Structure 1
Amino acid sequence: MRNVLRISPFLLVLIAPLLLSCDDLFQYNPNQLVFGHDERDINFHNIEKILELPEQDTLKFILMGDTQRWYDETEDFVKSANNQPGVSFVIHAGDISDFGLTAEFKWVHEIMTRLKYPYVTAMGNHDKIANGLAAYRKMYGPPDYSFEFSGHKFIFVNTNSREYAFDGTVPDVNWLRGQVADNPGNKDAIVIAHIPPYAADFDPNLEQTYAKILGDDPNVKMSLYGHNHSFSDGEYYNDGVHYFVTTTVGARGYMLVTVWKGGYDVQRVEF
């Protein structure tokens, strides 16, 4: 006689929701590329929000970065940033994630949506590892992009050379040269990336070319970075371009940047 498993109707009602949702329970992978509508092309959509803001003679924004696994500290950053008056937007200088996992990008983005301001990102070296590049492209868009606002041109470039085995393709200096040159209005240009050109993870064969592109253009006066996990700044190539590096969110710091035609002011903030 065959044994038959009998399930009471009451028990079936209890377990039915679990059976119907078993895909979520058993097939989820923190690296899978599944994004909601509001988790795609974030840079593009936030640039649209920035461009809807009124133009200003003096523009203020925040430079922060390296959120990685510092979720509590990122929460505290948002609270501090929201208390800064007159800020138009936030720049995340890269290393959104630590392991390039889709789940990490989602967790950080969920926190960053609590900002009162739109935010845009540079891609970090940790954002490239594992499946990170594909996740970053879907969630934020291309690593190299630019936009213009309030008399300034913001140029974001992928400088994570080590993750490309120093093969001469990253940073894309030809793209960067074209972006700097394509400035008929002579707007002040600000170049933003994760790894500064004098760091060990930047392709040493491209360092001087990169610096010369910036230094030869009179519209480039400053360039902004993360990666080094500490505050620093200096004019490293004696060419009039000032390089600023922000510390990590984990170290509870960021930079408050104010720019106007021909000038700027950068303050270190600890929270």
Structure 2
Amino acid sequence: MMAPIAPMRKFYSLLLFLSLALLSACEELFEYHPNQIILNEDERNLTARNLARLQQQQPGDTLHLLVMGDTQRFYDAAEAFVDKANTFPYIDFVIHQGDISDFGMSQEFRWVHDIMKGLKWPYLTVVGNHDLLANGRKVYEQMYGAFNYSFDYGHTRFMFIDTNSMEYNYNGKVPDIDWLDKQLLHQEGDTWQQAIAVSHIPPYDTDFDADLEKVFHNTLKESERVQLSLHGHIHGFRADFRYDEDVLYLATSTVKEREFTYLKVWEGGYSFERVAY
């Protein structure tokens, strides 16, 4: 005996309604294509938003920074970092050394930002090689902003620069040495007296364009205003005067190792401390 048509139609209508409701509830949990970008308005232009917060602060003679990075899929470790970072009495800002994501998908960036926004202080990022995978380039630009940017804070200029040469097939244009050189020109009336370079891949790594390795270093050295260059990528801590005694290349370990760097910067000098958590 066949079931009545009307009750069956109601059943399938209810089933369809529940299915659509479930998909709507889960749309933020899944990406259906690697080129899909789903961002809320408060997840856009985060570099500009955090710089605006930073400029509302009054820098002291000594700047206090936390340097971390390579969060990728290590979400528990990233949450633990935020908990530890918030125990410090005061930090000017936090630097994320890149590889925010692992596969360049927007949901990965969103998950990490959802963790990092729990910090008491602004955080600023530099683009990593994993952030350029799949549709990551567009995601990073929409969510954070430019790959190369600089700003002045107190006595120091900070220059965040894309050094992910391999992702551009070593085309001789990454890192952008001309851009870097222009940031290091000290103009009359400038309040900054020194500069710090911030990038994901250190110049001695094989992912960095070998033809630009010494050029990058010499650009920093010859400015006579850079003593320190900050990096991530190698997933371990390393601090050395790679080429001479003018510029220290300081790489901070991945959060997976439950470690970050506490950096203090004053006019003419700096100190750093490895912090385990």
TM-score (norm 1): 0.93
1:53 pairs, out of 52, 57, 63, with: 57
Tell me, in whole angstroms, the C-alpha distance in 2 between the residues paired with 1:19 and 1:220.
Answer: 56
Deviations 1:13-64 (A, max 9, x none): 7864643674665784363112101100111100110110012111101110
Tell me, in whole angstroms, the C-alpha distance in 1 between the residues paired with 2:256 and 2:161.
Answer: 24
1:115 and 2:116 correspond: no
2:110 pairs, out of 83, 87, 106, with: 106
1:38 and 2:42 correspond: yes
Residues 59, 92 of structure 2: 8 Å contact kept: no
1:85 and 2:86 correspond: no
Residue in 1 that maps onto 2:76:
72
Residue in 2 that maps onto 1:152:
156
1:214 and 2:220 correspond: yes
Tell me, in whole angstroms, the C-alpha distance in 2 between the residues paired with 1:149 and 1:267.
Answer: 21
Tell me the amino acid that sits aligned with residue 252 of structure 2.
T
2:261 pairs, out of 231, 255, 264, with: 255
Tell me the amino acid that sits aligned with residue 29 of structure 1.
Y
Flag the 1:103–1:188 CA change in 2: closer, same or farther, 3 A: same
Query: Which is worse superposed, 19-28 or 95-104?
Result: 19-28
Residue in 2 that maps onto 1:6:
7
Residues 54, 93 of structure 2: 8 Å contact kept: yes
Tell me, in whole angstroms, the C-alpha distance in 2 between the residues paired with 1:28 and 1:195.
Answer: 28
Residues 30, 102 of structure 1: 8 Å contact kept: no
Tell me the amino acid that sits aligned with residue 20 of structure 2.
L
Identical pairs, percent? 41
Residues 30, 101 of structure 1: 8 Å contact kept: no
**Which runs of 5 or more structure 2 residues have no equivalent in the other structure?**
none
**Which runs of 5 or more structure 1 residues have no equivalent in the other structure?**
none
Deviations 1:61-104 (A, max 9, x none): 11101000100000101111111222111000000011111111
Query: How far did residue 5 of structure 1 move?
Result: 5.2
Residues 73, 102 of structure 2: 8 Å contact kept: yes
How many aligned positions are there?
271
1:166 and 2:170 correspond: yes
Tell me, in whole angstroms, the C-alpha distance in 2 between the residues paired with 1:50 and 1:24.
Answer: 35
Tell me, in whole angstroms, the C-alpha distance in 1 between the residues paired with 2:270 and 2:23.
Answer: 54
Query: How far did residue 8 of structure 1 move?
Result: 7.7
- Please state whether the residue corresponding to 1:80 is helix, strand or coil: helix
Query: How far did residue 11 of structure 1 move?
Result: 8.5
Tell me the amino acid that sits aligned with residue 6 of structure 1.
P
Residues 31, 107 of structure 2: 8 Å contact kept: no
Q: Which has the higher helix share?
A: 2
Tell me, in whole angstroms, the C-alpha distance in 2 between the residues paired with 1:113 and 1:13.
Answer: 39
Tell me, in whole angstroms, the C-alpha distance in 2 between the residues paired with 1:223 and 1:61.
Answer: 14
Tell me, in whole angstroms, the C-alpha distance in 2 between the residues paired with 1:70 and 1:188.
Answer: 34
Residue in 1 that maps onto 2:235:
229
What do you get for the CA RMSD once the two structures are aligned? 2.3
Query: Which is worse superposed, 17-26 or 154-163?
Result: 17-26
Query: How far did residue 151 of structure 1 move?
Result: 1.2
Residues 38, 107 of structure 2: 8 Å contact kept: no
Deviations 1:97-135 (A, max 9, x none): 111111110111101111111100000000011111111
Tell me the amino acid that sits aligned with residue 208 of structure 2.
F
Residue in 2 that maps onto 1:180:
184
2:273 pairs, out of 246, 253, 267, with: 267
